[in-house]
Amino acid sequence: MEPLIPHAQENAALPPFEELLKESVKIHGHLCPGQVVGVRMAMLGLKLAGIQDPKGRDRKSLIVYVEIDRCATDAIQSVTGCSLGKRSLKWIDYGIMAATFINLKSGRAFRVIGRESARELASSYRPDIEDKYKRQLEAYKLMSDDELFEVMEVKVEIPKASMPGPPLRRIPCDECGEYIQNCREVEVDGRTLCRKCAYGAYYEPV
């Protein structure tokens, strides 16, 4: 069975799906269903947001919010060129297979959500493959965008402190003395604190 061309490949400025998938796998380290979903999700999100060349002329016009720290997120980063270091990739820890693609020039934003039903639908596309994960991997290449994803147009207000560029300010924490960037400080009882001093850290000193 020949793979169907995903609808999002109408974006002629992007490389073909298989090429994008190969590049994503090279970065991620292995091929898995999440890589297929992530590449397809990114292609669709870019198309909806009107981003033609995410790593070239449109690179300063795109911000992506991802809602899960799984394989698909690496694929989204690979396709879009967005990253935490560039401050163009934002991670919101919802644990949901979803990402929002924002065109900063037009202000339009689209949240693309992976459909849970696609897992079961995989059996009807590739019933010849016994292994569940291999079956999903190949089926996700064949499904239409509508079968794989739910889409909603959304509005996202991005704080100035979260935009790419130099930090708006750097100030020391009144408790530990470490410097806080990008307006992430917290005011508690008249003191300026970093979030770990205000709410508790994820680590304990040894």
The CATH number that applies at residue 172 is: 3.30.60
Q: Distance (Å, rounded) from C-alpha 108 to C-alpha 116?
A: 26
> Sign of the C-alpha dihedral, residues 76, 78, 80, 86?
positive
Same-domain status, 20 and 111: yes
**5 band by pLDDT with thresholds 50, 70 and 90:** very low
Supply the range of the domain harboring residue 63. Answer: 7-159
Cβ neighbors of 40 (< 8 A, separation 6 or more) are 6, 8, 17, 140, 145, 148, 149
Same-domain status, 134 and 115: yes
What's the pLDDT score for residue 10?
Answer: 54
What are residue 124's DSSP bridge partners? Answer: none
**pLDDT for 1 beyond 70:** no
Using alpha carbons, list the distances in angstroms from residue 100 to 28, 66, 142, 163, 186: 21, 7, 23, 15, 27
What's the pLDDT score for residue 50?
Answer: 96
> Sign of the C-alpha dihedral, residues 49, 50, 52, 56?
negative
Same-domain status, 62 and 118: yes
pLDDT (average), residues 133-159: 95
Task: Answer yes or no: is 119 within a domain.
Answer: yes
Q: Distance (Å, rounded) from C-alpha 109 to C-alpha 98?
A: 13
Same-domain status, 113 and 48: yes
Same-domain status, 140 and 182: no
Same-domain status, 77 and 153: yes
Residue-wise pLDDT tens digits, 9-25: 456 578 899 999 999 99
Same-domain status, 155 and 171: no
Number of domains in the chain: 2
Task: Answer yes or no: is 206 within a domain.
Answer: no
Same-domain status, 182 and 144: no
Same-domain status, 99 and 190: no
Q: Distance (Å, rounded) from C-alpha 33 to C-alpha 135?
A: 9
Residue 86, token pair as written in the block: 């560039």
Residue-wise pLDDT tens digits, 43-52: 999 999 999 9
Q: Distance (Å, rounded) from C-alpha 1 to C-alpha 75?
A: 25
Same-domain status, 27 and 128: yes
